[in-house]
Chain A
Amino acid sequence: MAINTSIGMVGVALQTDATTKADQVKYAHGLTGGTPLSFDRSTSAVSVACGVRASTDGYVESIDVNPSFDTLGYADAIGLYYYGALGNVVSAAGTKSGTYKHTVTMGDEVPSFTVWGKVGQNNYGFTQGCKIDSISCSFTGNEPLSFSVSTLGTLAQFLDADPFEGTDPSCFDGYFVPTDCTLMIDTAGDTPAEAVITEGSIEISNDCEAFRSCGQVMPSRVSEGKCTVSPSFTVVPDDIKPYRKMITGSETGTKPSGDIVYGSFSCEFRHSKNADWSLKFTADRVPFTADFVDVDPDGGSGEFTFTADSAYIESRGSSPVTVEIVNGVEKYTN
């Protein structure tokens, strides 16, 4: 029997530190693609001339273990992933009974996870010491929100026993959707207003790097680097005011500004099965840029795609993006 790739699952749990594997899966959920278990082995020939034209031997240069997968916005796991991407989390009771609100912002360090993967019926493994290298949330039309999670890990192993035994996957409990969402943007200023945004994405990257000691093929540590938050929103405006504002600093401005102009955004999404749960992204120091509308002889509505290489922070304690998740998870910290 072949490996049935429609049978895939990922599990994740927070580690107590960078080197200690988590005991068991905390959140298990489905995938829309990717590789929850990955061994990227690099080999090299030993370069030696030995009287014949072919190499005689080789060695393993490295084995990188970087689980990366695409998934839907499962309310429990997604909070853990954003905590993993940014590093700070504050959890308290929500306004509705049985709900909890998690406010995730950028900290100095990001936590480590153990990631379990399953592909096919009885093929399992885990990767420990994983840090979130990047996570992106994309939305278009009324499709469920799509998330891509890339991690860098240290040690990985195959397993013979099912690590998901006894863990209910979140797949049956709904996910975050754009239906009746609130999408707001301000291309110059910190008071975003509702706009016709047809698609968008928000990516958080940590510029992670895995490094290994001599004699070790698998990484011994993963370290995070600079945090960048890159948003992109395609807007169909009534006029060019949002673009003019971005260029001049004011929607009535005439001269392009030599000073950097910061905009802001707020995107709040609902959950498909629980009206009390939500996912919200906000940022208020975003140097948007966009190409001007192209003329098209065939006509059609002009649109701008406002993007930024990275949102900035205003003070030492602020965050380039704030993620608020309201769900049924009491807390994410160990």
Chain B
Amino acid sequence: MKTKFVATEDFTAELYGVKFDVKKGEGVEADDLAKSQLVQLGLIEPAKNPKKED
């Protein structure tokens, strides 16, 4: 089960070799480490109506 995350603002990043160039409101696919950092920085959050997927 994965929770969908969306960007709370525009950001760019390189995290563990993966590049991001994301606009506010876009969905963000990232591994757990990158996701954890982006959540900590307040740049992504779980989508309001998260879609659960296997």
Contacts and interface: CB of A to CB of B under 8 A. Distances in A.
Contacts of B32: 317
A111 B15 CA distance: 11
B37 interface: yes
Q: Size class of A's contact patch?
A: 10 to 19
A333 B41 contact: no
A309 interface: no
Q: Size class of B's contact patch?
A: 10 to 19
B7 to A, nearest CB: 9
Contact of A108 (B10, B13, B17, B43): B17
Nearest to A330: B12
A92 interface: yes
Contacts of B21: 333
A247 B6 CA distance: 45
A102 B32 CA distance: 20
Contact of B13 (A89, A111, A316): A89
B12 A331 contact: yes
Contacts of B14: 83, 87-89, 107, 111, 333
Contacts of B12: 90-92, 330-331, 333
B10 A88 contact: no
Contact of B37 (A93, A105, A108, A331): A105
Given A105-B37, A317-B36, A317-B37, A91 B16 contact: no
Contact of A92 (B19, B33, B36, B41): B41
Nearest to A334: B19
B41 A90 contact: yes
A15 to B, nearest CB: 13
Contacts, number: 51
A91 to B, nearest CB: 5
A36 to B, nearest CB: 25
Interface in B24-54: 32-33, 36-38, 41, 43
Contacts of A111: 14
Contacts of B15: 88, 90, 107
A90 B32 CA distance: 16
A109 interface: yes
A92 B16 contact: no
A103 interface: yes
Contacts of A316: 33
Interface of B: 9-17, 19, 21, 32-33, 36-38, 41, 43
9 contacts: A87-B14, A88-B16, A89-B14, A90-B11, A90-B12, A93-B9, A93-B10, A103-B37, A333-B12
Interface of A: 83, 87-93, 103, 105, 107-109, 111, 316-317, 330-331, 333
Given A90-B13, A90-B38, 7 more contacts: A88-B13, A89-B13, A90-B41, A91-B13, A92-B41, A107-B16, A333-B19
